[in-house]
Amino acid sequence: MPTRRQALKTIVAGAALAGTSPLSTFAAVPEPPTKRNGNIRHSICRWCLSDLSLDDLCAKAKEMGCSAIDLIGPSEWHILKKYGLDSSMCNGAEINLVDGWNEPKNHPELIKRYSEMIPKVAENGYKNLICFTGNRRGMDDSTGLANCVEGLRQVMPLAEKHGVVLCLELFNSKVDHKDYMADSTEWGVALCKALGSPNFKLLYDIYHMQINEGDVIRNIQQYHPWIAHYHTAGVPGRHEIDETQELYYPAIMRAIVKTGFKGYVAQEFIATNPDKIASFRKAIDICDV
C-alpha cells in the first residue's frame, strides 16, 4: 500500500512519463465545474493521485469544484497557475518527515531552506508552507519544544515580513509515523504559543489526530485559533471518508465552519476504489456542508 513518503518520491520521477499513463487520458471536452456551497474551500493532496499528471489532476479538481491542490513545490506552481488553482499547502523547504526542527543539528540547513522558500511562496501569491518537528529519537517533549522554538524563531521574522504562514503538521505516532514528536494538538498549540507569531500555526490532520487522541470536534472547537489547514482521511486504514469508517465528516465539517475557518480542507486518503476520481468527488461531496 503506498504511503505519502513513497508517493512523493515517485511524483517527480514520473512527471515526464505521466502523459503515457492510461490514467492520464480524459475526454477532450471537460465537464463543467460542480457548484459548491462555498462554506468549505476544497483541495486535493497531490501525492494521493500521483498516477495522474498534474495537468490531468488540475483539470479534474476544477471539475469537482476544488480551488486548490495541496503539497506542491515551486517546480510545478506554473501548472497550477495555468488552471487558476491555488497552492493551498506549499512544500519543498523541509528536509524530510523525520529530520525536523526539534533537532538543533538540523537548524542550519532548515534555516537556509526556509529562508530561500518563504520569499518564493509570497512572490507566487501563496500563503501556507509546511514544516515538521521530526522524530523524537529519545527526546522528551519539553526539550523538543525548546529546540523547535530556538530554530523557528530565526525564520519567523521573514515569514511575518512576507505574510507566509509556517504550518506544522500533526501526525499520529501509533500507526503511520512511529516516534514523530508533534503527535498531539495540545503540544502543537504549546509550540504556537511559545513562538507567539500569527504566522506559525498547525496543519490539523483529522485522520492522524483521531488515531492519536480522538475527540476531534472538541479539539477543533478548543484549538481552532491555532489551526490554519485541515487534512482528511478515513479511520481505520486511511481510505475513503464514507460509511465504511468511524469518523462522520459532515459533522466535523460543520464544526469547522462554525469556528469561522476560511482556509482549505484538503482530501488526503488512499482510495480503494479503482475509480479514484469518483472516490475523491464523493469525499468532496461529503465535506461540502
Note down pLDDT in tens along the chain; length 289 residues: 556 666 655 554 544 444 444 444 444 456 677 899 999 999 999 999 999 999 999 999 999 999 999 999 999 999 999 999 999 999 999 999 999 999 999 999 999 999 999 999 999 999 999 999 999 999 999 999 999 999 999 999 999 999 999 999 999 999 999 999 999 999 999 999 999 999 999 999 999 999 999 999 999 999 999 999 999 999 999 999 999 999 999 999 999 999 999 999 999 999 999 999 999 999 999 999 9
- Asked, for residue 8, whether it belongs to a domain, the answer is no
pLDDT digits (tens, 9 = 90+) for 96-123: 999 999 999 999 999 999 999 999 999 9
- Asked, for residue 22, whether it belongs to a domain, the answer is no
DSSP class of 164: P
- Give the Å distances, CA to CA, from 79 to 53, 73, 84, 88, 269: 10, 11, 9, 14, 23
- Asked, for residue 19, whether it belongs to a domain, the answer is no
pLDDT digits (tens, 9 = 90+) for 6-18: 665 555 454 444 4
- Asked, for residue 78, whether it belongs to a domain, the answer is yes
Using DSSP, state whether 238 is helix, strand or coil. Answer: coil
Give the per-residue pLDDT at 32: 75
- Give the Å distances, CA to CA, from 168 to 27, 33, 128, 192: 39, 32, 10, 9
What's the rounded Cα separation, in Å, for the pair 192 and 241? 29
Give the per-residue pLDDT at 30: 60
Cell output for 48? 494521493
- Asked, for residue 165, whether it belongs to a domain, the answer is yes
Contact 268, 232 (CB under 8 A): yes
- Asked, for residue 6, whether it belongs to a domain, the answer is no
Predicted TM-score (pTM) of the model is: 0.89
- Asked, for residue 9, whether it belongs to a domain, the answer is no
Domain assignment of residue 219, given as a range: 38-287
Torsion, Cα of 180, 184, 186, 190 (10° steps): 20
What's the rounded Cα separation, in Å, for the pair 70 and 269? 12
> What's the domain count of the chain?
1
- Asked, for residue 21, whether it belongs to a domain, the answer is no
CATH of the domain at 62: 3.20.20.150
